[in-house]
């Protein structure tokens, strides 16, 4: 077990996350993994009090500065639940710190903070986009990365709020029945059904919405990845009795973007993702009374 006082200090003084030895890191990873192992692949949230809010946060990609700004907003506004849509690591300058900060929040308050799996919560992608190298530079031993992968493999993949609003990292998959297939399945039982849902999980983490596309078309992102149009988006919502979708995965210069008559909101929670010459503000979403309100993060200078 890891002491709560120690974890609270890490949240109050997050720059200490950069100095932790692997022994402490391992304790945080293992505790968080235990919490995720109590969850379901499809998280279901029901807000009984309509005044309560849920915050949904998009890609962080190692941007600790934006993450800490978001945490200040969370502290001030006190939402009931906070759902991160994945892609916490790769690319930025404080990748492990961002992952550990979110996992520490999870361990301190597992009924409040949730993390879904993004396409960067995978070793293969981390080997190409920086996190694996950052980890090796710090801890030297590639075998230690197994503990990171174990956390990834215990993450849920989507969340449904009040049976109306779906949250996931990338987009809807071609299999319209995927949500029924994973409903009530524990994260620990993923391997039992993996063959039948692997392609859908891959698409949930990688797909993108696209205006004026009909059906599913091939994405430039790579083999098996799809763009989806409004027609298949409609069918997916109808089949699953849903009204709205919040997803992340794409950075827009305006910070967030609505698609498909404001029924799909795309958010991204890392500022200046492509550097200061191509600036973008960070965004997040607030859900209140089943309405999605996009927000921009005002960064302190």
Catalytic residue list? 120
Region binding Mn ion by CB under 5 A among candidate stretches 122-130, 224-232, 247-255, 277-285:
247-255
Q: Which is nearer to Mn ion, 69 or 87 (CB)?
A: 87
Q: Which is nearer to Mn ion, 119 or 219 (CB)?
A: 119
Q: Which is nearer to Mn ion, 87 or 97 (CB)?
A: 87
Question: Structure tokens of 262?
Answer: 């404001």
Q: Which is nearer to Mn ion, 77 or 128 (CB)?
A: 128
- Provide the minimum distance between the beta carbon of 86 and Mn ion in the complex, in angstroms, as a whole number: 7
| 219 forms part of the interface with Mn ion (CB under 5 A) | no
| 249 forms part of the interface with Mn ion (CB under 5 A) | yes
| 134 forms part of the interface with Mn ion (CB under 5 A) | no
Region binding Mn ion by CB under 5 A among candidate stretches 80-88, 129-137, 216-224, 279-287:
80-88
3-state SS, 83-142, equals EECCCCCCCCCCHHHHHHHHHHHHHHCCCCEEECCCCCCCHHHHHHHCHHHHHHHHHCCH
Q: Which is nearer to Mn ion, 28 or 88 (CB)?
A: 88
Q: Which is nearer to Mn ion, 142 or 253 (CB)?
A: 253
| 283 forms part of the interface with Mn ion (CB under 5 A) | no
- Provide the minimum distance between the beta carbon of 190 and Mn ion in the complex, in angstroms, as a whole number: 20
- Provide the minimum distance between the beta carbon of 107 and Mn ion in the complex, in angstroms, as a whole number: 24
- Provide the minimum distance between the beta carbon of 120 and Mn ion in the complex, in angstroms, as a whole number: 6
- Provide the minimum distance between the beta carbon of 259 and Mn ion in the complex, in angstroms, as a whole number: 16
Please choose, from the candidates 185, 169, 188, the residue with its C-alpha nearest in 3D space to the C-alpha of residue 36.
188
| 87 forms part of the interface with Mn ion (CB under 5 A) | yes
- Provide the minimum distance between the beta carbon of 180 and Mn ion in the complex, in angstroms, as a whole number: 25
Region binding Mn ion by CB under 5 A among candidate stretches 16-24, 34-42, 116-124, 284-292:
116-124
Among 31, 63, 104, 119, contact with Mn ion (rule: CB under 5 A): 119
Number of residues that bind Mn ion (CB under 5 A): 4
Nearest residue by C-beta to Mn ion?
A: 249
Where on the chain is the footprint of Mn ion (CB under 5 A)?
87, 118-119, 249
């Amino acid at each position: 077990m890891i002491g709560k006082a120690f974890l609270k200090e890490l949240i109050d003084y997050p720059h200490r996350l950069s100095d932790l030895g692997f022994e402490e890191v391992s304790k945080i990873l293992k505790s968080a993994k235990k919490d995720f192992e109590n969850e379901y692949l499809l998280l279901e949230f029901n807000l009984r009090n309509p005044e309560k809010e849920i915050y949904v946060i998009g890609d962080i990609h190692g941007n600790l500065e934006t993450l800490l700004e978001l945490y200040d907003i969370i502290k001030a506004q006190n939402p009931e639940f906070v759902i991160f849509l994945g892609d916490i690591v790769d690319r930025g300058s404080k990748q492990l710190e961002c992952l550990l900060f979110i996992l520490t929040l999870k361990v301190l308050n597992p009924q409040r903070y949730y993390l879904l799996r993004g396409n960067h919560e995978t070793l293969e992608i981390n080997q190409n986009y920086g996190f694996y190298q950052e980890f090796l530079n710090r801890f030297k031993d590639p075998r230690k990365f197994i503990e990171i992968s174990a956390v990834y493999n215990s993450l849920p993949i989507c969340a449904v709020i009040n049976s109306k609003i779906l949250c996931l990292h990338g987009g809807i998959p071609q299999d319209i029945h995927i949500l029924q297939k994973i409903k009530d399945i524990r994260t620990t039982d993923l391997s039992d059904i993996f063959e039948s849902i692997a392609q859908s999980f891959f698409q949930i983490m990688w797909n993108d919405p696209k205006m004026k596309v009909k059906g599913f078309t091939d994405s430039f992102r790579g083999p098996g990845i799809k763009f989806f149009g409004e027609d298949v988006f409609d069918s997916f919502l109808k089949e699953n009795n849903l009204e709205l979708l919040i997803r992340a995965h794409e950075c827009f210069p305006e910070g967030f973007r609505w698609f498909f008559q404001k029924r799909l909101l795309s958010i991204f929670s890392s500022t200046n993702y492509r550097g200061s010459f191509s600036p973008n503000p960070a965004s997040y979403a607030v859900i209140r009374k089943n309405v999605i309100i996009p927000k921009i993060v005002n960064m302190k200078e």
